[in-house]
Amino acid sequence: MTGIIDYKAGNIRSVELALRTLGVNYRISDTPEELEGADRLIFPGVGEAKYAMKNLKERGFDAFLHQWASSGKPLLGVCLGSQIIFEYSEEGDTPCLALVPGAVRRFPDHFREHGLKIPHMGWNNVTFTNGGSRLFDGIQEGTDFYFVHSYYVDPIDRSIISATVDYGMEVPCGIRHGAIEAFQFHPEKSAMGGLRILANFTAADRQKGPLC
């Protein structure tokens, strides 16, 4: 069973619709105890880091996610959920979960001088790095995914970067750290490429045939 963490800062509805399309057996919960028996977790998120961390702590998800990561069971972070797995975010000067060494930084203001808007919003193509990820199986390099973010992840260990996107600089947009996978873009909003990622992650829970 695939668990989806609901901490009132996640893009839950879009993720749920994508999993329904794929025929995935899933459970959404705002209570850690209800997700303890899951085989894998999706950790979505939109909004502001400080607010998200406050909600996670109030619901006990901070300790739960540390225990989950220690267990080695698969965890998929999406958008804000790909950021607050790091140690610190410049957004609101926020200490985060520290599941992955590194920080989350704001795009430089000088990007605007070069015609680059902040947030980085819309479709952009990704480049696989360091061998990519098994979650990219069946996806061609250069596929477009949908982004909405003003902050980007900056891991200490650059070898864990599985994908990058060009937006004024080489921006990490995929992370692979043990059983943790994370993407800055929104797979659930990224058409067939995004569905393929979710299908690869939830393969054992899918009731339908292979994704065409």
* Residues annotated as part of the active site: 79, 186, 188
- Gap between the Cα atoms of 54 and 58, Å rounded: 6
Contact 151, 194 (CB under 8 A): no
DSSP state, 9? Answer: S
- Antiparallel, parallel or unpaired: β 40-43 and 2-5: parallel
Say whether 57 sits in a helix, a strand or coil: helix
For helices 49-59 and 61-71, the axis angle rounded to 10 degrees is: 80
Sign of CA dihedral 47, 49, 54, 57: positive
Beta bridge pairs of residue 149 = 120
The answer to whether the peptide bond before residue 119 is cis (omega within 30 degrees of 0) is yes
Q: Which segments of 52-204 are extended strands (E)?
A: 75-78, 86-89, 94-95, 100-106, 120-128, 144-149, 151-155, 161-166, 170-177, 180-183
